[in-house]
Structure 1
Amino acid sequence: MLGLLGFAIIGQVPSAAEAPRLVPAALVDVPNEDGLQTAVLAGGCFWGIQGVFQHVEGVVSATSGYAGGSAETATYEQTETGLTGHAEAVRIVFDPQKISYGTLLRIFFSAAHDPTQLDRQGPDIGPQYRSAIFPVNEQQAKVANRYIQQLDEAKAFNSAIATTVELGRPFYEAEGYHQDYMYNNPGQPYIAVLERPKIEALRRFFPTIYRAQPVLVAKTAG
Structure 2
Amino acid sequence: MSTVTEKATFAAGCFWGVEHIFRKHFGADGITCKVGYTGGNTEDPNYRLVCTGSTNHAEAVELTFDPKRVMYETLVEFFYKMHDPTTANAQGPDVGTQYRSAIFYHSPEQKEIAERVTQEVQEKHYKDKKIVTQFIPAGKFYDAEEYHQLYLEKNPTGYECPTHFLRW
Q: Structure 1 length as normaliser, TM-score?
A: 0.68
Aligned-residue Cα RMSD (Å) equals 1.9
Distance, in Å, in 2 between the alignment partners of 1:145 and 1:170 is 22
- Alignment-mate amino acid for residue 137 of structure 2: L
Q: 1:22-41 residue pairs with structure 2 within 5 A?
A: 35-41=4-10
Identical positions, percent: 39
What is the CA distance between 1:71 and its match in structure 2?
Answer: 5.1
| Residues 134, 168 of structure 1: 8 Å contact kept | yes
For residue 22 of structure 2, what is the aligned residue in structure 1? 53
Query: What is the Cα deviation at residue 87 of structure 1?
Result: 0.3
CA contact (8 A) 1:54 1:61 kept: yes
Amino acid of the structure 2 residue aligned with 1:106: E
Question: Can you list the C-alpha shifts for 1:126-171, whole angstroms capped at 9, x where unaligned?
Answer: 010000000111111111122212222x141131101000014221
| Distance apart, 1:184 and its partner CA | 1.1
Q: In the alignment, what sits opposite 1:209?
A: none
Structure 2 segments unaligned to the other structure (5+ residues)? none
Which 5+ residue runs of structure 1 have no aligned equivalent? 1-33, 206-222
Aligned length: 163
Selected match of 2:67 from 82, 90, 96: 96
TM-score (norm: length of structure 2): 0.89
Question: Is 2:156 aligned against 1:186?
Answer: yes
Q: Report the Cα offset of residue 39 of structure 1.
A: 0.2
- Residue from 43, 53, 62 that aligns with 2:33: 62
SS in 1 for 2:88: coil
Give the Cα–Cα distance (whole angstroms) in 1 for the partners of residues 44 and 89 of structure 2: 19
Check the 8 A contact 2:44/2:142 in 1, yes or no: no
* Larger strand fraction of residues: 2
Instruction: Measure how far apart 1:185 and its partner are.
Output: 1.0
Q: Which runs of 4+ in 1 moved over 6 A?
A: none
> In the aligned structure 1, how far is the partner of 2:144 from the partner of 2:135?
21
